[in-house]
C-alpha cells in the first residue's frame, strides 16, 4: 500500500531521534500502516528500512495478540513471534499525537554482538597457526557466514598484474559460481568495484537492485557485502558474502565484517609468503633435478621423456613439445598429462591440428620470434592454433584437456630454435611472471640437453656408418702352402696387385708391400709359421693402379685330421676408407668436444643467472617475513594476556620460524655475495688473523671454559677479508660443537706441505660419522638437527667456496663423540681469481 495525502506528516525531530536510537523503533498510524523504521528495527524484522514503509504491521510481524479483530493498533503492550527464531517478541506501543511508536528490545541482536566478538577471537586464534591460503579462506568464510547469516561466501585474490580476480575459495553457492572463477577487474560487479576502489560495499536489496539490476536474476542473492582484503598498502583481493533475503547492515555488523576481512588479509599475506618460500625452494630443487636428469639422457627421446615427467604434474597440468621437423612443420614429439588416461587421447587430438612454422597460430609466432609468451588467463583458445585448424578436433581437445593458463617457451641453443615447449593448466591465472622466468630457465637447460643428445646421436650414427662401410669394403682372399709360400693361382691377390703368378710365387708377394712395412710383415709371418698361430698385421700394399692402400691382413692355418697344417688361408681387408673415416671421426669428435665445452659454458652462465635469480628472490622474501614478525609482535603485545597456552605456543612457533627464515635469507645472500666479490690478494698473517677472530668470538664463548692451542701459523697470500670470514666459520663451528664438553679443547695450527700451506682446526666436540664427510661442504647439508645445534647449513659451503677461489681445497676428518678436524690448503704462490668460481 502507498502512503496518501491523508497520511500524517512525520515530525522531522521524531524521525531524527528514531534513527539515532540503538534499539528498534517504528512510527505508524493507528490503522497499523508503517510510516518509518530505523535500521535496528529493519534489521530485526529482516527488511530494509525503505521497504518497510507503506506496509501493514500485520504483514511484517507474525500475529499480534491484540487489535487483530479491529485491525487497529492501540497503545499498550504488543506481542508477536520472531519469524526466524520463533521466540516471543514483547513490544510497547505509545501514542505521540496522531502517531504511534512501536519499540522493543532486540535480545537476539545483543546476543549476535557477543557471538561475533567470540567468533573474531576464535578466528584470530585459528589464523595464527595457519600457513596455507586455502585453510585461511576456509576458516574466514565459515566464520563470516555463520556470524551474519549469509548463505554464501567467496574469496578472490588479485593476480600478479593486478588486472584480474581469481577465485581462491567459495562456500554455499553450489553450482552457481563456476563461470565466476575468473573476473576481469573492469567488470561492473560488486566484487570488482570493491577491489578497484579498495573500499567495502554493503548493499541491501533496494541498493543492490538499483546499481546491479541484472545480477539478482542470475543467483539467489538479494543483498551482499563485499570487503577488500588489504595488507599494508596492498590490496590482496576481496571477501564477498551473499544473502538470500533483504539484509540491513548495522554499524556493528559492518565493523565486524571489516575486522574479519582485516584478519583474513593479514593471514593470507602470511600464507602467501610461506607458500612463495616453499615454491622458490621447490623450483630450485626442480632445476637441480632437471640438470641431473637432462644432462645424463643420451638421446633426444630420453631428454623429452625426462623433461615431461619433471614438468607434469609438478609445474603444469599437461605439456607438449613440438620440434622443427626440417620440412616447415612443428611436429608433435612429446605429450604428458597429469591424468595418464588422457595423455594418449590428447596426443591423438593434437596430431589432428598440424602447426606450420610460417602459420598464424601463437605457437608458430613464438617459434619465429624465439621469445617466450605468458597467457596467465587464456580466454580465446582459437588464437593458440592455426586459422585453418579443424574446429571439431580443437573442441574435442579442449574438452579433454581445457587450457585456461598457458606458457609457450622456445627451446633455443647456439642461436637456433629447436622447437616449442608448451606448459598448460586448466586453472585460470595459474601461471604468473615468476613461473615464466623459472620455466624459461628450465627450457634453456632442456634445449642444451637436447642439443647435446642430438650431437651424441649424430656421432654414434656416424660411427655406425663408418663401421658398415668397412664391412662392405672389398676383401681379397689368398692361400699359402704349409711352408708359407704363395703358390698356384691366386685370383684375389692378382686382382688386387696386378702381379702375375711368376711375380708373386714364393715370397714374391712381399715386393708389393710398402718398404716401411715389409720387414715387420715378413717377420710376423715367420713367427706365425713357427708358432702355428694366427697371423694378423696391418700393412700398406701397392695396388694395381700403383697407389698404396691400407689393409688389415688376417691368416689362419687349416689342419688335416692328424693336426698337421695343410695350408694357410688369408684375407686382405681394405681399411683405407676406414682409416680416412677414423681421421674424419677424430676431427668430428674434436668438434663435438668443442661444442660440448661451449654448451657447458652456456650451462655455467645459466647457473650464474640462476644464482642471480635466487639472490633476487631472497631479497623479495625479506618484506613478507618482516610482516610476519611485525604482525606476530603486534598480536603478542596486543592480545598476549587473552591468548591461552596453546595459542601462545603457536605464536612462538610462527615467530621462531620467521626468525629462522630471516637467518636463512641472510646466509643465502652471504653465500651468493661470495661469488660476486672480487678477490684482493695480499700477504695475510694467519696468527694475527686468529687473534682477531678470538676477540670476535668472545660473546659466543661467554663463561665457557675453552682451552685454545694456537700453533705456528704462516703468512699466506690471499684476500684477508674472505680468509677471515672462512676461519670465523671454522672456529665458530668448533665453539658451537664443543658446547656439550665441560672443558673444550680447540687447536689451530698449520704447516707447509710441498707447494701449499695446510691449516687445520681441531676440536674435542661431538664429531661426525666419517662416511658423511663428503656432505659437509654442500649447501644446506647438516649432520645434526636444529634442536641439537642451531644453524642453516651454509657456513661450511662458504668456507669451501672461499678456499676454492684461492686455488685451495678443504676436507674434514672426524669421529662421533671424539671430535672433528677441518683442513684448509692454500697455495704458497700469489693467488688469482678462478673464473669458473666468480658466478
Most confident of 56-65, 558-567, 650-659: 558-567
Total domains in the chain come to: 6
**Cβ(228)–Cβ(261) under 8 Å?**
yes
Q: Assess whether 338 and 446 both reside in one domain.
A: yes
Residue 3 domain-assigned (yes or no)? no
The Cα diameter of the chain in Å comes to 154
Nearest in space to 374 (alpha carbons), one of 361, 759, 366, 507: 366
Q: Which residues pair with 747 in a beta bridge?
A: 709, 762
Domain membership flag for residue 303: yes
Mean pLDDT of 343-348: 73
Average pLDDT of span 724-739: 84
Q: What is the CATH number of the domain that holds 521?
A: 3.30.450.20
Where residue 561 falls among pLDDT bands split at 50, 70, 90?
confident
Comparing 4-18, 33-47, 571-585, which segment has the lowest mean pLDDT? 4-18
At residue 839, the pLDDT reads 35
779-to-16, 292, 370, 466, 798 alpha-carbon distances in Å? 71, 16, 35, 47, 8
In a domain, 112, yes or no: no
What is the bridge-based pairing of β-strands 744-753 and 706-710? parallel
Under DSSP, is residue 360 helix (H, G, I), strand (E, B) or coil?
Answer: coil
Instruction: Tell me the range of 273-282, 400-409, 517-526 where mean pLDDT is highest.
Output: 517-526
Give the span between the Cα atoms of 783 and 796, in whole angstroms.
Answer: 12
The pLDDT confidence band at residue 723, using thresholds 50, 70 and 90, is confident
3-state secondary structure 132-152: CHHHHHHHHHHHHHHHHCCCE
Q: Which of 699, 697, 738 is CA-nearest to residue 821?
A: 738
Rounded to an integer, the average pLDDT of 825-838 is 57
Yes or no: say if 247 and 283 are a contact pair by the CB < 8 Å rule. Answer: no
Statement to judge: residues 758 and 661 lie in one domain: no
Residue 371's pLDDT band, with cuts at 50, 70 and 90, is very high
- Could you tell me if 306 and 446 lie in one domain? yes
- Is pLDDT at 449 greater than 90 in this prediction? no
Spatial distance between the Cα atoms of 276 and 33, rounded to a whole number of angstroms: 60
In a shared domain, residues 791 and 689: yes
DSSP class per residue in 278-309: HHHHHHHHHHHHHHHHHHT--SHHHHHHHHHH
Write the burial class of residue 636 (CB in 10 Å: 0-12 exposed, 13-18 middle, 19+ buried).
middle
- Average pLDDT of the chain, as a whole number: 80
379 to 157, 382, 383: CA distances (angstroms): 18, 9, 9
Tell me the pLDDT tens digit for each residue of 169-187.
888 887 666 557 778 889 9
What pLDDT is attached to residue 65? 46
484: left (phi over 0), alpha (psi -120 to 50) or beta: left
DSSP, res 383: G
Cα separation, 22 vs 644, whole angstroms = 34
**Higher pLDDT among residues 763 and 98, named by residue:** 763
pTM strictly above 0.75: no
> Is residue 280 in a domain?
no
In the predicted model, is pLDDT for residue 742 greater than 50? yes
Q: What is the C-alpha to C-alpha distance for residues 618 and 423, in angstroms, rounded to an integer?
A: 26
Answer whether residue 66 shows pLDDT above 60.
no
Distance separating alpha carbons of residues 127 and 135, to the nearest angstrom:
9
Measuring CA to CA, which residue among 721, 678, 691, 638 is closest to residue 834? 678
Q: Which DSSP symbol is given to 56?
A: B
d(CA 45, CA 248): 10
Give the least confident one: 140-149, 367-376, 506-515, 560-569.
Answer: 140-149
Quick one: 453 and 489 in the same domain? Answer: no
Report the distance separating Cα 33 and Cα 10, nearest Å. 13
Residue 2: inside a domain: no
Residue 591, SS3 per DSSP: helix
The pLDDT score that the predictor gives to residue 542 is 93
How far, in Å, CA of 481 to CA of 354, rounded?
69
By the 10 Å C-beta count (0-12 exposed, 13-18 middle, 19+ buried), 691 is classed as exposed
Indicate the range of 31-45, 61-75, 144-158 predicted with least confidence.
Answer: 61-75
Do the beta carbons of residue 512 and residue 542 sit within 8 Å?
A: yes
- Are 447 and 304 within one domain? yes
pLDDT-based confidence at 747, cuts 50/70/90? very high
How would you label 165-191 residue by residue, b for 16+ Cβ within 10 Å and e otherwise? Answer: bbbbbbbbbeeebeebbbbebeeebbb
DSSP string, 148-176: HT-SEEEEEEE-TTSSEEEEEEEES-TTS
3-state SS assignment for residue 9: coil
Query: Does residue 714 sit in the same domain as residue 824?
Result: yes
**Pairwise pLDDT comparison (11 vs 746), residue with the higher score:** 746
**H/E/C letters for each residue in 762-798?**
EECCCCCCHHHHHHCCCCCCCCCCCCCCCCCCCHHHH
In-domain check, residue 722:
yes
Same domain, 689 and 812: yes
d(CA 89, CA 72): 19
- pLDDT of 67 strictly over 50: no
Dump pLDDT digits (tens) for 277-299. 777 777 777 777 767 777 777 78
Q: What is the pLDDT of residue 469?
A: 45
CA distances from 667 to 615, 619, 663, 774, 801 (A): 11, 12, 6, 21, 14
Question: Phi, psi (5° rounding) for residue 468?
Answer: -65, -35
Domain membership flag for residue 447:
yes
Same domain, 503 and 551: yes
Residues 87 and 55 placed together within one structural domain of the fold: yes
Q: Residue 385, Cβ neighbours under 10 Å: how many?
A: 23
Instruction: Tell me if 38 sits within 8 A of 47, measured CB to CB.
Output: no
The model's pLDDT over 88-117, given as tens digits with 9 standing for 90+, comes to 788 888 888 888 888 887 655 555 666 667
Q: Which of 460, 483, 518 is the last residue of a domain?
A: 460
Report which of residues 557 and 387 the model is more confident about: 557
75 and 223 housed in the same domain: no
More confident residue, 810 or 44: 810
Closest CA to 621 of 650, 570, 657, 649: 657
State the CATH number of the domain containing residue 706: 3.30.565.10
Q: How far apart are CA 780 and CA 668, in angstroms?
A: 10
Mean pLDDT of 257-273: 87
The residues near 190 (Cβ < 8 Å, ≥ 6 apart) are 201, 203, 208, 212, 215, 224, 226, 240
Task: Please give the pLDDT value at position 836.
Answer: 39
Question: Which DSSP category does 446 fall into?
Answer: H
pLDDT at 834: 44
What is the arithmetic mean of pLDDT over 345-353? 71
Note the pLDDT of residue 837. 38
- Rounded average pLDDT over 540-546: 91
810: β partners: 824
Give the ranges where 149-250 is alpha helix by DSSP (H).
190-197, 205-211, 215-218
Residue 159's CATH number: 3.30.450.40
- Contact (Cβ atoms closer than 8 angstroms) between residue 449 and residue 303: yes
Length of the chain: 839
- Note whether 407 and 442 are within 8 A (CB): no
DSSP reduced 3-state for 213? coil
Domain, as residue range, for 385: 296-460
Is the pLDDT at 819 greater than 50? The verdict is yes
Residue 149 has pLDDT above 60, yes or no: yes
* For range 809-816, the mean pLDDT: 88
Least confident of 135-139, 438-442, 490-494, 678-682: 678-682
Assess whether 308 and 416 both reside in one domain: yes
In a domain, 311, yes or no: yes
Lowest-confidence region among 620-629, 643-652, 671-680, 821-830 = 671-680
Q: Which residues have a Cβ under 8 Å from the Cβ of 760 and sit 6 or more positions away?
A: 747, 748, 749, 750, 821, 822, 823, 824
Question: How far is the C-alpha of 80 from the C-alpha of 467, rounded, in Å?
Answer: 104
Amino acid at each position: 500500500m502507498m502512503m496518501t495525502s491523508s497520511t500524517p506528516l512525520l515530525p522531522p525531530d521524531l524521525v531524527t531521534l528514531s534513527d539515532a536510537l540503538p534499539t528498534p523503533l517504528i512510527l505508524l498510524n493507528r490503522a497499523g500502516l508503517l510510516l518509518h523504521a530505523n535500521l535496528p528495527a529493519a534489521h530485526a524484522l529482516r527488511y530494509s528500512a525503505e521497504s518497510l514503509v507503506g506496509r501493514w504491521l500485520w504483514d511484517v510481524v507474525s500475529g499480534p495478540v491484540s487489535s487483530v479483530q479491529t485491525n487497529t493498533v492501540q497503545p499498550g503492550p504488543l506481542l508477536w513471534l520472531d519469524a526466524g527464531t520463533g521466540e516471543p517478541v514483547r513490544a510497547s506501543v505509545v501514542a505521540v499525537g496522531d502517531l504511534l511508536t512501536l519499540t522493543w528490545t532486540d535480545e537476539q541482536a545483543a546476543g549476535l554482538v557477543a557471538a561475533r566478538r567470540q567468533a573474531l577471537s576464535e578466528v584470530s586464534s585459528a589464523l595464527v597457526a595457519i600457513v596455507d591460503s586455502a585453510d585461511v579462506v576456509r576458516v574466514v568464510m565459515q566464520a563470516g557466514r555463520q556470524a551474519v547469516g549469509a548463505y554464501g561466501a567467496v574469496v578472490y585474490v588479485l593476480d600478479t598484474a593486478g588486472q584480474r580476480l581469481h577465485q581462491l575459495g567459495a562456500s554455499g553457492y553450489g553450482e552457481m559460481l563456476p563461470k565466476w572463477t575468473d573476473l576481469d577487474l573492469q567488470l561492473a560487479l560488486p566484487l570488482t568495484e570493491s577491489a578497484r576502489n579498495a573500499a567495502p560495499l554493503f548493499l541491501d536489496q533496494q541498493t543492490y537492485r538499483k546499481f546491479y539490476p541484472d545480477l539478482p536474476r542470475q543467483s539467489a542473492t538479494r543483498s551482499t557485502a563485499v570487503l577488500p582484503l588489504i595488507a599494508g598498502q596492498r590490496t590482496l583481493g576481496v571477501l564477498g558474502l551473499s544473502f538470500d533475503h533483504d539484509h540491513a547492515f548495522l554499524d556493528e555488523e559492518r565493523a565486524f565484517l571489516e575486522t574479519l576481512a582485516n584478519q583474513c588479509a593479514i593471514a593470507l599475506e602470511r600464507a602467501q609468503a610461506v607458500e612463495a618460500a616453499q615454491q622458490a625452494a621447490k623450483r630450485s630443487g626442480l632445476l637441480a633435478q632437471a640438470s641431473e636428469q637432462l644432462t645424463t639422457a643420451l638421446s633426444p627421446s630420453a631428454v623429452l621423456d625426462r623433461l615431461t615427467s619433471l614438468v607434469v604434474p609438478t609445474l603444469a597440468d599437461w605439456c607438449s613439445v613440438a620440434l622443427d621437423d626440417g620440412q616447415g612443420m612443428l611436429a608433435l614429439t612429446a605429450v604428458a598429462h597429469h591424468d595418464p588416461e588422457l595423455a594418449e587421447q590428447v596426443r591423438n587430438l593434437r596430431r589432428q591440428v598440424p602447426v606450420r612454422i610460417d602459420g598464424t597460430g601463437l605457437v608458430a609466432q613464438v617459434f619465429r620470434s624465439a621469445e617466450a609468451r605468458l597467457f596467465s588467463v587464456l580466454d580465446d583458445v582459437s588464437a593458440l592454433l592455426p586459422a585453418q585448424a579443424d574446429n571439431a578436433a580443437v573442441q574435442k581437445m579442449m574438452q579433454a584437456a581445457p587450457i585456461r593458463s598457458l606458457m609457450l617457451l622456445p627451446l633455443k641453443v647456439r642461436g637456433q630454435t629447436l622447437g616449442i615447449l608448451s606448459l598448460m593448466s586448466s586453472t585460470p591465472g595459474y601461471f604468473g611472471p615468476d613461473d615464466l622466468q623459472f620455466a624459461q630457465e628450465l627450457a634453456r637447460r632442456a634445449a642444451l640437453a637436447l642439443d647435446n643428445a642430438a650431437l651424441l646421436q649424430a656421432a654414434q650414427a656416424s660411427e655406425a656408418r663408418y663401421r658398415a662401410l668397412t664391412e662392405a669394403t672389398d676383401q681379397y682372399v689368398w692361400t699359402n702352402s704349409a711352408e708359407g709360400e704363395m703358390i698356384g693361382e691366386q685370383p684375389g691377390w692378382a686382382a688386387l696387385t696386378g702381379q702375375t703368378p711368376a711375380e708373386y710365387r714364393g715370397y714374391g708377394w712381399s715386393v708389393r708391400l710398402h718398404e716401411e712395412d715389409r720387414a715387420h710383415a715378413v717377420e710376423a709371418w715367420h713367427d706365425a709359421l713357427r708358432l702355428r698361430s694366427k697371423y694378423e698385421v696391418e700393412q700398406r700394399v701397392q695396388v694395381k693402379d700403383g697407389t698404396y692402400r691400407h689393409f688389415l691382413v688376417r691368416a689362419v692355418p687349416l689342419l688335416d685330421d692328424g693336426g698337421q697344417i695343410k695350408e694357410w688361408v688369408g684375407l686382405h681387408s681394405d681399411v683405407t676408407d676406414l682409416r680416412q673415416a677414423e681421421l674424419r671421426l677424430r676431427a668430428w669428435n674434436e668438434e663435438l668436444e668443442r661444442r660440448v665445452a661451449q654448451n657447458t659454458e652456456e650451462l655455467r652462465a645459466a647457473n650464474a643467472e640462476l644464482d642471480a635469480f635466487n639472490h633476487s628472490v631472497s631479497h623479495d622474501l625479506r618484506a613478507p617475513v618482516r610482516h610476519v614478525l611485525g604482525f606476530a609482535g603486534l598480536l603478542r603485545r596486543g592480545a598476549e594476556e587473552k591468548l591461552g597456552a596453546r595459542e601462545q605456543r603457536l605464536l612462538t612457533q610462527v615467530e621462531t620460524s620467521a626468525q629462522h627464515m630471516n637467518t636463512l635469507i641472510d646466509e643465502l645472500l652471504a653465500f651468493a655475495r661470495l661469488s660476486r666479490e672480487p678477490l684482493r690478494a695480499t700477504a695475510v698473517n694467519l696468527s694475527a688473523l686468529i687473534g682477531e677472530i678470538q676477540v670476535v668470538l668472545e660473546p659466543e664463548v661467554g663463561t665457557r671454559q675453552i682451552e685454545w692451542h694456537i700453533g705456528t701459523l704462516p703468512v699466506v697470500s690471499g684476500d684477508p677479508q674472505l680468509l677471515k670470514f672462512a676461519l670465523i666459520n671454522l672456529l665458530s663451528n668448533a665453539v658451537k660443537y664443543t658446547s656439550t664438553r665441560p672443558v673444550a679443547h680447540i687447536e689451530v695450527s698449520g704447516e707447509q706441505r710441498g707447494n701449499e700451506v695446510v691449516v687445520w682446526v681441531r676440536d674435542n666436540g661431538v664429531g661426525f660419522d666419517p662416511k658423511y664427510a663428503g656432505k659437509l661442504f654442500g649447501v644446506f647439508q647438516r649432520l645434526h638437527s636444529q634442536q641439537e645445534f642451531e644453524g642453516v647449513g651454509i657456513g661450511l659451503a662458504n668456507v669451501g667456496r672461499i678456499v676454492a677461489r684461492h686455488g685451495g681445497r678443504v676436507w674434514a676428518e672426524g669421529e662421533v663423540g671424539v671430535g672433528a678436524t677441518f683442513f684448509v690448503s692454500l697455495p704458497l704462490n700469489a693467488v688469482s681469481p678462478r673464473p669458473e668460481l666468480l658466478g
